[in-house]
Amino acid sequence: MQGMILSLKTVIKFSSSGIKDLPLITTEDLRSRLTKEEVENIHRWGNSANGKSTITIVRKIPFAIFIASGVLVFLIMELIK
């Protein structure tokens, strides 16, 4: 689970917990990847009285490849006209 990104909904659930060093802020992008210590604390939170058995992970897909290929196809189509 290290390196994954939590959803904002999940991080908000952590705010009422007494467990230290849980991630309390997320931007839902690659800057918010989980560290090993945060993962361990999330596991402790899951086993606590207020914890939940599931959390939501955000999946990031690099769209730059698709945007660049779309621009390239567009430029080629314009040259063929």
Give the separation between CA 44 and CA 60, rounded to whole angstroms: 26
Model pTM greater than 0.75?
no
Cβ-proximal residues to 21 (8 Å cutoff; 6+ apart), any chain:
37, 38, 41
CB 50 within 8 A of CB 17: yes
Range of the domain at 50: 5-80
pLDDT band at 55; cut points 50, 70, 90: very high
CB 9 within 8 A of CB 56: yes
Number of structural domains found in the chain: 1
pLDDT at 12: 92
pLDDT in tens, 1-48: 789 999 999 999 998 888 898 999 998 888 899 999 999 999 999 999
